[in-house]
Amino acid sequence: MSLRFPRTIAALFAMTLIAAPMETFASDTVRIGYQRSSTLMGLIRDSGVLDDRLAQQGVDIRWHEFTSGLPMLEALNLGDLDLSADVADTVPIFAQAANVDLTFYATEAPSPAGQAMIVHADSSIDSVADLKGKRVTVTRGAGNHYLLLAALNRAGLTLDDVQVSYLTPSDARAAFVQKNVDAWIAWEPYLSTARAQDDTRTIVDGSDGLANYTRFYLAATPYAESHPEVVGTVYRTLKEAGDWVRAHRHEAAQRLSPLWGGIDPKIIEAALSNRSYQVEPVSKAQFDEQQQIVDAFLEAGVLPRKVDTRDAHIYEPTNEEQ
């Protein structure tokens, strides 16, 4: 029997909710952090499907919005959050360096085109080598920070060869538009927004082995260990949401537009095409590149101490959840 995809993500999830057996659990609360750009978790929050599923398990959700990944993981460390939406692969490294007890409960397949270095169309910069002496902006500790290091290294340059400004994405966009910086490594949806609204050229992205730009979903380890059934429900819902987005980019863009401040759905659809949204279990092998990031950040003086990325805890979903 063939199955048709429903027209809305809420309908897709509702099919599973109707069929789900009712079980009795003790009343509880899970606190979930997300960013405005958290695609899958944003859609899930908007649909209410996870709230409904966890309500069947006697669990209420408290949603908390953050401006970036590092403060979100700090909240995990302080006990103010239980689970986080996706963060770039660089972010957990700083949390591990601060001895935050994290559990990786999901990942997305790599999206190397999900971030890229752009310049103005009339710029004299044609390659990474041309960045010498130029002004570049990234967000400190974010995935674009590592892409800058990797790109400079491949071109035989270091951070000492460029003038780096560490700005949030919104501030970086303003600096780029006003031509206060020569190059900006942006991630989605900021990247597709700039490409659509400004006259830009792309110098390099994460392809050719520069940076996989893998996204991870994290939990406070004490919570993951004491509430595996909640983590499992969140994992299953994320996976279904990712499958839906990949099959329904146009509709997903329409739904995300008001959640992302009214960005043109056509821009969002372009942004979605640069991310995999393929939710998978986390494996130790994925930490190999993270260890490379550790080494790069240590050499650049960005990371306070060396960490072994393989020391992190991993949640393993059940066969039913996968």
Same CATH fold assignment for domains 9-111+214-314 and 112-205:
yes
Tokens of 123: 């710029």
What lies within 8 Å, CB to CB, of 302 at 6+ separation is: 140, 141, 145
Q: What string of pLDDT tens digits covers the 322 residues of the chain?
A: 232 334 444 443 333 333 333 343 445 999 999 998 899 999 999 999 999 999 999 999 999 999 888 889 999 999 999 999 999 999 999 999 988 899 999 999 999 999 999 999 999 999 999 999 999 999 988 999 999 999 999 999 999 999 999 998 899 999 999 999 999 999 999 999 999 999 999 999 998 889 999 999 999 999 999 999 999 999 999 999 999 999 999 999 999 999 999 999 999 999 999 999 999 999 988 898 899 999 999 999 989 999 999 888 999 988 776 7
No. of helices (H) and no. of strands (E), the chain: 13, 12
Alpha carbon distance 30, 22 (integer Å): 19
Identify which of 282, 287, 144 has the alpha carbon closest to the alpha carbon of residue 203: 144
The CATH class of 112-205 is alpha beta
Beta bridge partners of 87: 216
Q: Residue 183: beta bridge partners?
A: 119, 136
**Domain range summary for the chain, segments of one domain joined by +:** 9-111+214-314, 112-205
- In angstroms, the first-to-last Cα distance of the chain is 21
The CATH code belonging to domain 9-111+214-314 is 3.40.190.10
The strand pairing partners of 201, in sequence order, are: 119
